[in-house]
Chains A and B, each alone.
Chain A
């Protein structure tokens, strides 16, 4: 990866530091948020300059077809969330809705960097990653609507579902940080079966404050596990701004304390996100251990739909509105001559139509039968049509004889049809 042209050598640190720390950004976001008293009330104040962002950083890893596929996922992500908002306003959602507005580029491009043999576990705002991994928008909608047809049959909501089968996705729980050791453990288990895989998950600027974050990253480092941890620094943990969450200048700097490589990216630049994540995935495949990626972006809505985010200074939102990841990527595709205005309109209309059909399918699903609540606490013999994955693999594992560091896994990504 080439260093950013705009940054001085001092900005990038010494050569030895660059071995563990890479900064792919083309701009540093220069603004501050501080607490102040305004008309008798405590509020957050923004100071900075509302500028336009630079063009995207050329990738060199992604071709035209891949970029257009990513663009389609981005549109799906955004339009799906608009549909979720409509469903909520019509009273069809049980509980709240969580949005990834402004973070779609990060969710989609990071998940897109995984191979089919890799694993991932989404956080609540990574709804684009679910689509990349092969779940349908109707799955996402039915989860929010608590329908019988949802991936959990109504037993859980939001992004709390997964698939141990072909999609290789682990369901998150609501407690932040607890996914991280689990993803490390997947790499450990896979390695014992003779395969180096990458296991990707995300954590926020809030979640990285948890104790289990520290335990898990250190564990992955010591065990050299292929964890790809994307720290989505979206500046707000519910209503708490970054400077009340962490003292460190870049959250990626924490990686040095664990002895693992770190990359900082502009989370609204799809190409930077992809490059950093793909590099980390390849490192994992080669047995190179974990990578921490800090993705700097902004949560453009409240914590959930009930939260108007009145505590966010309006200028901060305006600063980031100019860095909309989808519009920035669209501009890139236009300049490359890969997407004409007509093609863009056609695609957007097609995704709109598709999303309406998905929504209709979600609405058609019945609510679950109350009696189904009482089964499945334990995994009983015969309760799974598909037997535990290990059974089929026992011979391979015996051959591997528990030794680690075998060949990297080759696999087609599910979206590369």
Chain B
């Protein structure tokens, strides 16, 4: 069946809930209303309010309850209405869930999923990309799919994983991309990057909605005889170091693209990995194209200036190709 990104998420949730009675959902307005973005629409009718739990507006309590339920043997999936609100339960995630297995051997199989990202004029509190707060915290897994098929398959793996997984869904993609997805299709393993477009001349390493910008820009640059490879990281923690190094060794030129702000973004970490493991293979300085180091502005012209653009990416890739 042809599913949009958000439909694929709902499909994965429903199939995992049918497969495993330990899986249940909790979050704000996810029951009768079906979630702010309708990711859980209809699930309360099939699984009932005990397994699709509308909670009070209390992010710390929601995540804390999920951790407790996981200790008791369940596999809770929490919806953050917008991932920006994850700041409210930072302690539960980074200090309770993330450190539990390391400190006392108690696994915390929970998924916290919800919409991230800009491009929809959501303003400073409905557009952020909070991945690096969590990718920096040992014990967490951080996933951000770029396609409907990946959203479906990666969410299945996230739910089956025995660790706390942050599952970041780019809201710009919810209804803009779709894939043919078979019922009860395969899970896609976490921690494995995918080549979204093979290429010869240079590599764009990216993830989330920026994968689409990269693939479209690469197609446009083919006319200029620049053959760009696009590597979709899919998981930010743990990072697929082998694929990152492999694409650098293949094309010898790397640009890292992300919608997250610049300082402390994953581009810095990837740059360091390439310096350590592929220095002799590089024919050009590693470039990065990111959002600006500002809050996400609201007004469309301001947000456009904040986000990486197709023109900016083209210019950077032309510069890289000239080395």
Contact = CB atoms under 8 A, between A and B. Distances in A.
Interface of A: 119, 151-152, 155-156, 160-162, 164, 170-171, 173-175, 178, 180-193, 199, 211-212, 215-216, 218-219, 222-223, 376-379, 381, 384, 388-390, 393-394, 397-398, 401-404
Contact of B71 (A164, A193, A394, A403): A164
A390 B102 contact: no
B61 A215 contact: yes
B56 A155 contact: no
B72 A389 contact: yes
A171 to B, nearest CB: 5
Interface string B59-88: 111111111111111111000000000000
Nearest to A214: B58
Given A184-B65, A218-B61, A376 B105 contact: yes
Nearest to A390: B73
Contacts of B56: 215, 218-219, 222
B40 to A, nearest CB: 16
B265 to A, nearest CB: 22
B61 A184 contact: yes
Contact of A181 (B48, B61, B101, B141): B61
Contacts of B105: 376, 384
Given A171-B106, A184-B65, A397-B21, A379 B60 contact: no
Contact of A171 (B48, B53, B100): B100
Interface string B11-22: 000000000111
Contacts of B73: 189, 193, 388-390, 393
Contacts of A161: 103-104
B107 interface: yes
Contacts of B24: 192, 402
Contact of A390 (B75, B141, B163): B75
A182 B96 contact: yes
Nearest to B97: A182
Interface in B212-270: 238
Q: What are the 10 closest A-B residue pairs judged by CB atoms, nearest first?
A: A185-B68, A181-B64, A189-B72, A390-B73, A189-B69, A185-B65, A215-B61, A215-B58, A219-B61, A379-B107
B50 interface: yes
A402 B50 contact: yes
20 contacts: A160-B103, A161-B104, A162-B104, A170-B68, A175-B95, A178-B92, A181-B68, A182-B65, A182-B67, A188-B69, A189-B74, A211-B60, A212-B61, A215-B64, A216-B58, A219-B55, A381-B162, A388-B109, A390-B22, A402-B48
Nearest to B54: A222
A219 B69 CA distance: 14
Contacts of A376: 101-102, 105
Given A155-B102, A384-B105, 16 more contacts: A156-B104, A161-B103, A171-B103, A181-B60, A185-B64, A185-B71, A189-B71, A189-B73, A215-B56, A216-B61, A218-B56, A218-B58, A378-B139, A378-B238, A379-B101, A397-B21
B138 interface: yes
Contacts of A402: 21, 24, 47-48, 50-51
Contacts of A164: 71, 106
A152 B68 contact: no
B262 to A, nearest CB: 27
Contacts of A185: 64-72, 76
Contacts of A193: 72-74
B99 interface: yes
A172 to B, nearest CB: 9
Contacts of A404: 50
B68 to A, nearest CB: 2
A377 B22 contact: no
A382 to B, nearest CB: 11
Nearest to A174: B95
A34 B138 CA distance: 45
B275 interface: no
B64 A192 contact: no
B99 to A, nearest CB: 7
Given A189-B72, A388-B109, A402-B50, A219 B65 contact: yes
A187 B60 CA distance: 17
B102 A184 contact: no
